[in-house]
Chain A
Amino acid sequence: MTKIFKHIQTSVVPLPIENIDTDQIIPARFLKATTREGFGNNLFRDWRFDENDQPKEDFVLNHPTYSGKVLVAGKNFGCGSSREHAAWAISDYGFDAVVSSFFADIFKGNALNNGLLPVQVSDDFLKKIFDAVFADHTTVVDIDLENQVIKISSTGEQESFEINPYKKACLMNGYDDIDYILSNRAAVEEFEKAPNP
């Protein structure tokens, strides 16, 4: 069981950088852990903290002005290595969705598997969000998964987004792949009983 995701309204954290790769999201040296928790502490580690582990004030996550459950980032988010830890780190930090104008394929799959919604918008709409947030940091974004629409509350501008029907069902019901298969347990056991071909 993961979080149920239907509809959120939240202020956002803007990160207008393109090609943010998974090494920036979670550097390789933090991958040795044998559990999934705690990766949020090292999210964007080298952008967030200096060599002495002191927060860098100019980085947006350390900025008191910006907060929210949605990360808005530049084009081609999550490129680089396939590490699933990138999605764990973002989700563990407390984000429910990432908005960008393009996501690397593997990252997108990993995010969806871990209850993190990737919302892919047009370059144009992405710019509108950044403009709105930089004009007013309290700007609220409204993501309606059921209708697959993202809206900037203050301006009323909106755009629809795509999502695989299966992944949508998972997020809306708060189940992940394992819950889904287990909900088909009877079919699995039936299959096992059938004579081998």
Chain B
Amino acid sequence: MAKTLFDKIWDAHVVSSKEGFPDILYIDTHFIHEVTSPQAFDGLRKRGLPVFRPKQTVATADHNVPTWDQHLPIKEELSRYQVDMLTKNCAEFGVELYGLGHPYQGIVHVIGPELGITRPGSTYVCGDSHTSTHGAFGSIAFGIGTSQVEQVLATQCLLQSRPKRMKIEVNGTLQKGVGAKDIILYIISKISAAGGTGYFVEYAGDTIRSLSMEGRMTICNMSIEMGARGGLIAPDQTTIDYVKGREFAPKGEEWDKAVAYWQTLYSDEDAKFDSVLTFKAEDIEPMITYGTNPGMGIGVTQHVPATEDFEPKEQGSYKKALDYMGLHDDEQLLGKPIDYVFIGSCTNSRIEDLRQVAAFVKGKHKADNVVVWVVPGSKQVEQQAIAEGLDKIFESAGFPLREPGCSACLGMNEDKIPSGKYCVSTSNRNFEGRQGPNSRTFLASPLTAAAAAITGRVTDIREMLSASEFAELVD
């Protein structure tokens, strides 16, 4: 029978399937971090159980870590406590920890791929909703709750019912200045922050195929922001080239065997999806969000909707979102002064993102009214950026390269956007208070964020790029 890519991988990981019972799904790799693991370890201790497969468990500290002076003790007490607990738990249960100071430390969804741990055809979970990032390699990856973290630690398996399958196709050629982040913000703005609920999404079409692995990760990362369980993209030569030679990637004969298998991983031609959506790349402008969920996005030249455009029962929550953001009906964001720019998070903190930003800001200087934070996703990204001299470019543009972590993505560590301030952010969530109490977030691509850093305003990146400059940027 014709199968979707999702079903091929799922079926290959079912340990047991019984009518009326959820499937027992085998998990190849379990990523853990300091925030959602302490209760899970505590549960194991109470049950007197070990970690079932410690070698298939990878830990890092990312959410709570400072991104400046990482060699000093963490100042915030709860953060320090959670990071210390992780260290203690990993030592006690024999789990490898890429903690602060380790050359592999970084945001969990950045380090998995760059270390070659994330590969096609496998299953990944983590107590973090953006685990969907790893789906970019053609694998099943999704976020789980704390009880499930305990379940996977104890058994290397997860009880799950099979979700529905959705295919989202994007075809055509992107406009200059438009990238992966704009594609996903566009899709979410069209289908809403709940449009993918109950589904696992496969992204397809020639536009998606043309993206680098970094771009694909950006797309899959935000699957959860449309309510989907996760997202994936069939592996191809781009995927194989990316994985090859990485630290934990298969080598020699193992590699050949793996590649042969990966080449079977695609949705069969007549495979059935429960829902199929199609978009045209040409329709996508550089995107920006104006509201308090990622579905509230518009092209950067458009105006925010008017309250009366909404159904009466939705008007209240729309008004509340606009009030929170300090915006009014029909306002145009273009030209609006902003206070902060955050370039980072598991959505956009990889070396390619930093290269793109550096290429754009080279020879320019940030606007005086803006504070700019550029936060690499991992220690390796940081080292690579320094090796390429990107740190020098950032410094002459008026902002230093910080140290790796989740940073201002979630306002849980020291990097918080102050109350009432506007931040153009390359992260994935614009919820009320997400970047700090009463912070106001405009989600956008790294290029749009970089443009805002230079002008101090919401800017249309297309206006700032000559054709030759653009060619350089995407090379």
Contacts and interface: CB of A to CB of B under 8 A. Distances in A.
Nearest to B78: A32
Interface in A153-184: 164-166, 169, 177-178, 180-182, 184
A52 interface: no
Given A35-B42, A36-B43, A84-B147, A188 B20 contact: no
Given A34-B42, A197-B12, A184 B21 contact: no
Contacts of B78: 32
A55 to B, nearest CB: 28
Contacts of A166: 20-22, 159
Given A34-B85, A84-B145, A188-B26, A178 B155 contact: yes
Contacts of A113: 147
A196 interface: yes
B15 A164 contact: no
A188 B155 contact: yes
A19 interface: no
A4 interface: no
Interface residues of B, number: 30
Contacts of A165: 20-21
Contact of B146 (A84, A182, A184): A84
Interface secondary structure of A, over-half rule: helix
Interface residues of A, number: 26
A113 B150 CA distance: 12
Contacts of A196: 257, 261
Given A165-B20, A191-B26, A177 B159 contact: yes
A38 to B, nearest CB: 12
B249 interface: no
Interface of B: 12, 15-16, 20-22, 24, 26, 38-39, 42-43, 47, 49, 78, 82, 85, 121, 145-147, 150-151, 154-157, 159, 257, 261
Interface of A: 32, 34-36, 82, 84, 110, 113-114, 164-166, 169, 177-178, 180-182, 184-185, 187-188, 191-192, 196-197
18 contacts: A32-B78, A34-B85, A35-B39, A36-B39, A110-B147, A114-B147, A164-B20, A166-B22, A178-B150, A178-B154, A180-B159, A182-B154, A187-B16, A188-B15, A188-B24, A191-B15, A191-B26, A196-B261
Identify the 10 closest CB pairs spanning chains A and B, nearest first: A165-B20, A34-B38, A181-B155, A166-B21, A191-B15, A178-B154, A197-B12, A35-B42, A181-B157, A177-B159
